[in-house]
Chains A and B, each alone.
Chain A
Amino acid sequence: MKHYSHLIAAFGLAFLLTSCQRNTSTVWEDTKTMGRYLHRKGQLLWKQDVDSKMIESADEFNGPQEEEFIPLRDEDLKRQFADMSIPQPKEVPGAIGSPIPSIDKFAAPASHLSNIFQNLYFNTDEHILRSKEYYNNIAKIADYMKKNQNTYIFVAGHCDERASEAYNLALGTRRANTIRGLLVKKGVNPNHIYTISFGKEMPANLGHTKEAWSENRRVEFKIFEKEGSK
Chain B
Amino acid sequence: MGRSTGYAAATAERVPRQGRGVTVLGWIAFLGLAGAQVVAFNLSAPDRDMGHLQKIMYVHVPAAWIAFLSFFFVFVVSSIYLWRRDWRHDLLAAAAAEVGVVLTALTLALGMIWARPTWGVWWTWDPRLTTTAIMLVIYAGYMALRGFVEDPERRGVWSAAVGILAFLNVPVVYMSVRWWRSIHQVQSSPSTIDPEYVLGLRLNAVAFLLVALYFLLRRYHAARLEVLAAARLEEDALTGEEAHV
Q: Do A and B originate from a single complex?
A: no
Which residues of B are at the interface with A, using a C-beta cutoff of 8 A? none
